[in-house]
Chain A
Amino acid sequence: MRRALPDLAWTLLLAVLVALAPAAMKALFHQASVSYLSLASNAMSLAVLALSWDLLARTGQLSLAHAAFYGAGAYSAAILAKLTGVPLFLALPIGGLVAALLALGLGSVTLRLRGIYFAIATLAFSEVLKAVVQEIPTGVAGGAAGLNVPPLFRPHFVPGAMQRWEIAFLRNADYFYVYGGLLVLAILVSTIAQRSRLKAAFTAVRTNEAVAAVMGVRPARAKLLAFVLSSALVGTLGALEAERLGSVIPDGTFAISTTVFALVTPIFGGLYTTLGPILGAGVLSAVEETLRRTFAEGYLIGYGIVLVASILFMPRGLVGLANRLARRRGPPPPGEDEAVRTASDPGAAESGEAP
């Protein structure tokens, strides 16, 4: 754990920054800070999604079911709010729990599937879940039309004392803190997985399960653990997003685009690292915002181009690129080199064998 200390210090610094950011933004940008805060929340949401996908990918499981866990969390929050008087805040951990239980179920039946087979099975699961949610009686889940979700935060009313944008600012700042908190949690999980014995276990399982078993790692356990942790994070995120966006609908909440974002971001940023997915989320959410303003439909094309270009020209992502540039300048700092080596064997063990 001692090696984890510097990372934990960075995470703490990030937490402090998140706590201070809204006030600083308000002082600097006044009214514009309202939309900046919501953009920052989008970026942090993408970072959580990407970190959780990466966590799972570290065990060699390339999931195409992130939309399913996101949707499960979102729908849990929506149904809880509709049918029970559970405080809205509690919907976040419950959304995470529901997603984690689903992952435990899916993970146990897909344990033996590798590479492409795992990917296709998870994609199929995601689509079946979408169809099943549509078939739940309309009185419970709203059918194809979806459900409205009450907002996590009520507007702050101080009659006369505040301008309209200040009320919006407070609301966005509230969400910003919650997204920030979730991001810090995701970073902590990722860091601990990266700096403890789990890293060796995950890497061993990804590279060669048989060898991992000989080393004393239990592949099934490591894979399930990663699956459950990853889905719990995504489920919580889904519940939070449902409450921020105000509605859930099968076609949107279970949209394949969530899965696309979840996997493109860490690949672009740098697989099997904590920094990569965060870096990728920052850059991509800025790019997406620009594209979305230019094209109403089809802006996802940017993600496709980034994905293809990353695979062809930058298979180790932004982090790999930075490491390579750093190494060209001087000798690599210890530890850095290790990160590059593990990043260079994405799924080396999966050589197209039968499932």
Chain B
Amino acid sequence: MELTLLAQGLVSGVLAAGLYALVSVGLALAIGVIGVINFAHGEFFMVGAFLAYQLFVSLGFDPLLSLVFVAPALFVIGALIYLSTIRYVLQAPELNQMLLTFGLSIILQNLALLIWGGDPRSISGVPYRSVGLQVAGVSIGLVPLGSFVISLVLVVGLYALLARSRLGRAMRAVAQNRVGASLVGLEVDRIYLVAFALSALLAGIGGVMIAVIQSPTPTVGFAFTLKAFAIVVLAGLGNIRGILWASLAVAVSESLVATLVPNGDSLRNAVFFAIIFVVLIVRARRTA
């Protein structure tokens, strides 16, 4: 019995890790390439979730179909936010950058509250929502499994993009040395724009999936910003490759606490924050 519970916790954790990796890899991209810590990252995720919800309610779109519309929409939203605000604080002190994105997060979150209210919204009519399979007493939902696969494909796709493509190489060059990159003829500002918009797009796709997995409220984004921070910090700031492992570690420990510790569900979030806290403090000691 205990063993089944342990296995269930592990499986749920691994499946959740995919989505965490997808959201975190976008945040890591923005931090690594542009150097701006984006507190509003989770809000792109939230906007994706609510766009999917709205498309489902108004037009009856299946969330899988919404992906085709939500992804480009988030790319455009990300690009507009970069062009209207982020671009102007690139040279500003880190404090200003952080506070600016914090302000953006407050605006987006409350805008969603004004539009959709604070109640949880769910996409309930999707036929495959409750489909799942049982393997040796461990249940695997089709939706978490699907989101795991989609996330993994996207994250690996991003790795390939960064490693192989011209754009990816340009991004890495800009991340390493902004001045050097512009000297060899790269358009730094445009690469930043694409990186930021891409990061919003990845978060938005994650949002569509959470809209099917859970019943999100407009505050879901902030929680995911913090989770993504935990993962990015654990992987090491700007280290995109470490994200997969960090997501796995964080998601599995969260899931194990939730399933094995009595009354553990309310401690879910505390696990994340305890991880961030300890990792930051330990890192600081080691480098000092």
Residues of A at the B interface (CB closer than 8 Å) are 62, 109-110, 112-113, 115-117, 119-121, 123-125, 127-128, 131-132, 134-135, 144, 256, 260, 263-264, 267, 295, 297-301, 303-308, 311-312, 315, 345-348, 350-352, 354-355
Contact = CB atoms under 8 A, between A and B. Distances in A.
B106 A120 contact: no
B269 A311 contact: no
A342 to B, nearest CB: 13
A297 B273 contact: no
A311 B89 contact: yes
A347 to B, nearest CB: 4
B192 to A, nearest CB: 15
A355 B93 contact: no
Contact of A311 (B100, B111, B222, B233): B100
Nearest to B274: A128
A236 to B, nearest CB: 26
B100 to A, nearest CB: 5
Interface string B69-97: 00000000000000001001100111110
Contacts of A120: 229, 233, 276, 280
A38 to B, nearest CB: 24
B193 interface: no
Contacts of A263: 99, 102
A297 B118 contact: yes
Interface in B34-91: 35, 37, 85, 88-89
B94 A127 contact: no
A301 B93 contact: no
A304 B284 contact: no
Contacts of B274: 124, 128
Given A128-B274, A297-B117, A355-B283, A312 B85 contact: yes
Given A112-B288, A308-B85, A352-B94, A124 B276 contact: yes
B103 interface: yes
Contact of A124 (B95, B105, B109, B277): B277
Contacts of A121: 276-277, 280-281
Query: 4 smallest A-B Cβ distances: which pairs?
Result: A304-B106, A307-B103, A304-B107, A131-B270
B133 interface: no
Given A62-B98, A304-B103, A345-B93, A135 B35 contact: no
Given A350-B94, A351-B94, A127 B269 contact: yes
Contact of B266 (A113, A134, A260, A352): A134
Nearest to B285: A112
Contacts of A144: 266
7 contacts: A110-B280, A267-B99, A301-B113, A308-B103, A311-B103, A347-B96, A350-B94
Contact of B105 (A109, A299, A304, A311): A304
Contacts of A298: 110-114
B105 A308 contact: no
A339 to B, nearest CB: 18
B267 interface: yes
Given A304-B105, A355-B287, A131 B94 contact: no
Given A113-B280, A116-B37, A350-B94, A307 B99 contact: yes
A116 B274 CA distance: 17
B237 interface: yes
A19 to B, nearest CB: 37
B142 interface: no
